[in-house]
Amino acid sequence: MPLTRLEREVITDSMLKIQSIQASLEQIDRWKLVDRDEIDSCLKTANNSFRTALSDGPPKKTTNR
């Protein structure tokens, strides 16, 4: 089922917040944060999930007949 305009706006807003956090963290020495790699991975996964939601959803499986 496609997203409504409001749902798209909410997801876009959240995605922009995540991108802002990623940019902010780039200004902090990565060794000063515990589990920085895990934080980066989590933010990247969330951003990718939102991008997928804004597209037409996850890739559809195709069958060869």
Is 54:3 a contact under the CB 8 Å cutoff?
yes
Residue 28's Cα: distance from chain center in Å? 21
The model carries a pTM of 0.76
Domain boundaries, the chain: 5-53
Taking the C-alpha atoms of residue 22 and residue 17, their distance in angstroms, rounded to an integer, is 9
Nearest to 22 by CA among 5, 47, 3: 47
1 pLDDT band, cuts 50/70/90, is confident
Residue 46's pLDDT is 97
**Residue 63 DSSP SS3:** coil
pLDDT, tens digit, for every residue of 5-59? 999 999 999 999 999 999 999 999 989 999 999 999 999 999 999 999 999 755 5
